[in-house]
Amino acid sequence: MHKELLRLERINKSYDGRKILEDLDLTIHENEFVTLLGPSGCGKTTILRLIGGFERPDSGKIWFDGQDITSLQPEKRQVNTVFQKYSLFSHMDVAENIAFGLKLKGKGRNYIRDKIKYALKLVNLDGYEHAQVTQMSGGQQQRIAIARAIVNEPKVLLLDEPLSALDLKLRQNMQRELVKIKRELGITFVFVTHDQEEALSMSDTVVVMNQGWIQQIGTPENVYNEPENAFVADFIGDSNIIDGIMIKDKLVHILGRDIPCINTGFGEEVPVDVQIRPEDIQICAPAQGQFQGIIKQVVFKGTVYDITVQAAGFEWLVQTITGHEQGSEVGLRLAPANIQIMAKPASEDEEAVSNE
Amino acid sequence: MNERITAQISSHRFLALPFALWAVLFIVLPLFFVLGTGLTNEAGDVTLANLLTVLQSEYLRALGLSVELALASTFICLLLAYPLCLILREKRESRGLLVFLLFLLPLWMNSLLTTMAWQTILEKHGLINMFLSYLGLPAVHLINTPAAIIIGMVYNFLPYMVLPLYVSLSRIDESIVEAARDLGANFWQTLRHVLLPLSLPGIVSGCTMVFIPALTTFVISALLGGNKVLLVGNIIEQEFTAAYDWQLGSALSMVLMVFIILNILLEAFADSGEQRKKGRP
């Protein structure tokens, strides 16, 4: 892991008596692509605004490169933001927008011109120097907003749901391009999104948040394959989440059956949440399955079929590559390695699963 | 979308009839009447003599003073209103609304009454001088000076500056200001490079809305200027009501109208510039 660059220490923040962030600790490293992922209102944008300097924490400290920047004005911070609504200056053309920060810093004409050229090339908009920003498409405006931020050579680029206003195809293109830009620049990106696919496909580190609490920090593979609690399991990808009891190491009791798994260290006779990914469930003949049930619904999704199976009093979501007959009797098989056991939340406060 | 609306409006064109009738009777016809009177002599012959009379130093001086005082009060209104609207923009809450209504209050009071009130405040033994003598300070001479007229104009016309400024400033999204701060601009740089240019349409329309009534007023200058300070509005009034020289009065009105039209053109120009930048020609 690279050197630590940014550290949020025991941050508390509330608006109008409503707690947004509570005792939050977060460390971000040099050259890391960190994504803050969570549903709206989870506090992810507040974290970004705290780093950007647009909000002050009620208590706690923010350290940047070893210095306390908690109460530093935004214009004095070595970070730049790409805003959700782009927030370009409509009274300036593209070049003037990009030059804004450089002119304030008193850079020379030639330097500014070269920088503009470089930045426009980086965001694939060469030759657009004198276009009016108001006449550009949403995707183009977003690129200008990125160019405007990066010419200032920030150590951290903050991106506040920058792709949420774009249509799917464009969004996917921009995702790839952002990763490319990030590699080229070699700086830290802090990216806020509620789109789990976006988070998984772009980041080095995903920070999953809910109700002002960090639920899990890890690599995309990590949070997808080994969610630490039911919220993370539910929020990222599709999941079957079932109440279970850990009988002993490597054996869990769910829906009236004892199922072998590979988890250890939970103790004996402990209630747990059990997560099984729909693509990890095998459909087989009834006699060979650990559970027997009936196919309720088959939905073709393009690459996979979403199959709903009613078995042992639970509605299972199963994904398969081949189709199955609705109404037919089937068995379900679970490989031990594909069963993820998660501790139940300790208190009501940490109750992670949203009611949505 | 736009075409459909246009088509709809044109098919409902008859709805404009009442207003059109009103405008022709009470706006267009009187205008032609003024033009006709200003360009003829008593015998009814067409002549430029009235306009040439306006060029006499006495009238030009009044016109010059009117422009000067109108510019001064417009400028003072701008200086008072802009910082206020900057603050109102930031806190859009009930308290902000209260301050806002306070500034608009003169709009709902009869300007004749408020100006008479200012008379009693500013006069020789008025409130201000009473207060000064109470403090043992020498009295100031305010009533019947240009300064008194400016005070009266600013008091009466300030709402016309506040309204358009508030509208154009509150339309600027907070994230635009944050973007400027983010890129390294301090408060003054943000004001100069972002807020001022983006609120320019509001500034222009506020200035127009203060300048024109300030240029043409005769009530404020009559009450607060006595007969010592004559503005072009007072002279026109006198030509019509005292000297009965309608020809000269009309000619003066025409000259005044040139200023008003110039002002309106300026605003239209600023507006079209704004439209072009937004991509709606």
The H or E element that residue B24 is part of is none
Q: Please report where in the chains the tokens 């239209």 appear, as a residue.
A: B268
Nearest to B185 among A88, A104, A135 (CB): A104
Per-residue pLDDT at A352 exceeds 70: no
Q: What is the CA radius of gyration of chain B?
A: 23
CB contact under 8 A, A101 and B184: yes
CB distance from A53 to chain B under 8 Å?
A: yes
Report which DSSP code applies to A303. S
B183 contacts in A (CB within 8 Å)?
Answer: 75, 80, 100-101, 104, 148-149, 152
CB distance from A153 to chain B under 8 Å?
A: no
A73 contacts in B (CB within 8 Å)?
Answer: 181, 186
Per-residue pLDDT at A349 exceeds 80: no
Residue of A332 and B45 predicted with greater confidence: A332
**Strand-pair category, A305-311 with A314-320:** antiparallel
Q: What is the dihedral of CA B3, B5, B9, B12, to 10 degrees?
A: 110
Residue B10 lies in a domain: no
CB distance from A176 to chain B under 8 Å?
A: no
CB contact under 8 A, A87 and B183: no
pLDDT in tens, B6-15: 666 666 778 8
Adjacent-strand bridge partners of A334: A281
| SS3 at position B171 | coil
Count other Cβ atoms within 10 Å, centred on residue B256.
Answer: 20
B181 contacts in A (CB within 8 Å)?
Answer: 53-54, 73-75
pLDDT in tens, B141-168: 888 899 999 999 999 999 999 999 999 9
Q: How far apart are CA A230 and CA A1, in angstroms?
A: 28
Which residues 101-120 of A are in CB contact (within 8 Å) with B? 101, 104-105
Residue B251 lies in a domain: yes
CB distance from A96 to chain B under 8 Å?
A: no
B64-84 residues labelled b (16+ CB within 10 A) or e (exposed): ebbbebbebbbebbbeebbeb
- The count of C-alpha atoms lying within 13 angstroms of the C-alpha of A342, restricted to the half-sphere facing its C-beta, is 30
A55 contacts in B (CB within 8 Å)?
Answer: none
Contacts of B106 (CB under 8 A, 6+ apart): B114, B155, B156, B158, B159
Range of the domain at B201: 66-279
pLDDT in tens, B84-109: 899 888 876 666 777 778 888 888 88
Q: What is the mean pLDDT of chain B?
A: 87
Label residue A271 left, alpha or beta by phi (over 0 means left) and psi (-120 to 50 means alpha). Answer: beta
pLDDT at B279: 45
A54 contacts in B (CB within 8 Å)?
Answer: 178, 181
pLDDT in tens, A30-86: 999 999 999 988 999 999 999 999 999 999 999 999 999 999 999 999 999 999 888
pLDDT at B276: 60
Adjacent-strand bridge partners of A241: A275
Report the gap between the CA of B204 and the closest CA in chain A (Å). Answer: 16
CB distance from A132 to chain B under 8 Å?
A: yes
pLDDT at A1: 60
pLDDT in tens, A139-170: 899 999 999 999 999 999 999 999 888 888 88
The amino acid present at A194, given as its one-letter code, is H
CB contact under 8 A, A89 and B178: no
pLDDT at B274: 65
Residue B33 lies in a domain: no
| Alpha helical stretches, state H, chain A | 44-52, 94-104, 109-122, 138-150, 168-185, 196-202, 220-225, 230-235
CB distance from A190 to chain B under 8 Å?
A: no
Report the gap between the CA of A154 and the closest CA in chain B (Å). Answer: 10
| From A91-105, A256-270, B15-29, B262-276, the region with the lowest mean pLDDT | B262-276
Residues B162, B103 contacting (CB under 8 angstroms)? yes
Three-state secondary structure along B141-158? CCCCCHHHHHHHHHHHHH
CA distances from B33 to A151, A284, B4 (A): 63, 98, 39
Residue B24 lies in a domain: no
Q: How far apart are CA B28 and CA B6, in angstroms?
A: 25
Q: How far apart are CA A353 and CA A350, in angstroms?
A: 9
The count of CB pairs under 8 A between chains A and B is 69
Residues B143, B119 contacting (CB under 8 angstroms)? yes
**Residue B194, domain CATH:** 1.10.3720.10
CB contact under 8 A, A91 and B198: yes
* Token digits of residue A145: 């907003």
Selected for mutation to probe chain B from A93, A100, A148, A155 (highest B CB count within 10 Å) is A100
pLDDT in tens, A241-300: 999 999 999 999 999 999 999 988 898 899 999 999 999 999 999 999 999 999 999 999
The tally of domains found in chain B comes to: 1
Residue B247 lies in a domain: yes
Nearest to A75 among B186, B197, B279 (CB): B186
Report which DSSP code applies to B139. P
Residue B36 lies in a domain: no
A79 contacts in B (CB within 8 Å)?
Answer: 182
B278 contacts in A (CB within 8 Å)?
Answer: 90, 134
pLDDT at B4: 65
Per-residue pLDDT at A97 exceeds 90: yes
CB contact under 8 A, A75 and B175: no
Q: Please report where in the chains the tokens 């003169």 appear, as a residue.
A: B106
Q: How far apart are CA A337 and CA A277, in angstroms?
A: 11
B178 contacts in A (CB within 8 Å)?
Answer: 52, 54, 74, 81, 83, 87
CB distance from A100 to chain B under 8 Å?
A: yes
Report the gap between the CA of B281 and the closest CA in chain A (Å). Answer: 12
For the segment A210-233, the average pLDDT, to the nearest whole number, is 92
* Token digits of residue A105: 């810093």
Selected for mutation to probe chain B from A69, A73, A87, A137 (highest B CB count within 10 Å) is A87
pLDDT at B53: 87
Per-residue pLDDT at B3 exceeds 80: no
A71-91 residues labelled b (16+ CB within 10 A) or e (exposed): eeebbebebbbbbbbbbbbbb
Residue B256 lies in a domain: yes
The amino acid present at A142, given as its one-letter code, is Q
> Looking at A255-304, which runs of residues are DSSP E strands?
257-260, 270-276, 281-284, 291-300
Residues B190, B184 contacting (CB under 8 angstroms)? no
CA distances from A10 to A59, A62, A77, A295 (A): 7, 9, 20, 49
CB distance from A56 to chain B under 8 Å?
A: no
Residue B3 lies in a domain: no
pTM over the 0.90 mark:
no
